[in-house]
Amino acid sequence: MIKKGLGKGLGALIDEGTTNEDKGIMELKINEIEPNKGQPRKYFDDDKLTHLAESIKQHGIVQPIIVKNEDGVYRIVAGERRWRAARIAGLTKVPVLLKELSNKQVMEIALIENIQREDLNPIEEAEAFEKLIKEYNMTQDEVASVVGKSRSAIANTIRLLHLNTTIKEYLINGSLSSGHARALLSIDDEKIQEKVAEEIKNSGLNVRDTEKLVKKYLTKKKTHKENNRNDNYNAIEERLKDILGTKVQIVEKNKKGKIMIEYYSLEELDRIIEMVEVMSTKKTTS
């Protein structure tokens, strides 16, 4: 089912490209048409294409393919899946709607068409959003307006590109969902990230269970880090205790802190001060 209310809407974007040069619906030889090099969608399901090809054999292409003339080459703007299926079906000509559109409009239309039909995997969607931002200087708010999503949804989708290659492949082939992946982004260590991803995939965990699993790993990592920190500080405290001959405590917070040296009489305080002065003098003369 095609979703309604996506940003400007596909029809509105196509209308923006209407000029006196538009020729309306016409037929073109299928080998005169080439796919869009900037097509957000990179993966096409062969079984679904075969099924669509059978439908096209029986009913033809109901909705024309939108194309743009680029120096004599008819480039697909929307409808590449129909074009591919038509080739499988053995058609020699297909109905097209020839439009005059900017590269930015082509990208927007291709992206919206795929989102409406839920054809893009999470990585393709993230790459398309990033392309609009980097190549066409759009803000996340502007992309959100075009595709009918919130700015935070755009930002969270783009963040998926920070995952490593293995997990991206899981998103592409459908082994993991974007919900799973967003939970994994909380883990900084790539090896642990992959380990958790494997556990999710093999156990068939849902997103809620994945979030619990990630939280468990993060808690374990924090405890391990705290234990390491305590071991390091304990060793330093013991060393200072041996040097000064009294109890020493290091109090640390946010990478800052203080060293607390205990003394039990004024004589002991004088002794500690004298030791520090001697050590300082040795350091100065060395």
Catalytic residues: 80
State the burial class of residue 219 (Cβ atoms within 10 Å of its Cβ: 0-12, 13-18, 19+).
Answer: exposed
Instruction: Name every residue whose Cβ is closer than 8 Å to that of residue 106 and which is 6 or more positions away in sequence.
Output: 36, 38, 68, 75, 77
CA dihedral sign of residues 101, 107, 110, 116: negative
Q: Could you give the 3-state DSSP secondary structure of residue 60?
A: coil
Q: Is the dihedral of CA 140, 145, 151, 156 positive or negative?
A: negative
In angstroms, the CA 67 to CA 80 distance is 10
Task: Characterize the bridge pairing of strands 256-261 and 248-253.
Answer: antiparallel
Q: How far apart are CA 177 and CA 170, in angstroms?
A: 8
The pair of three-digit structure tokens given for residue 277, joined into one six-digit string: 């002065």
Euclidean distance between CA atoms 35 and 17, whole angstroms: 19
Closest CA to 120 of 66, 83, 174: 174
Per the structure block, which two tokens stand in for 87? 């080739």
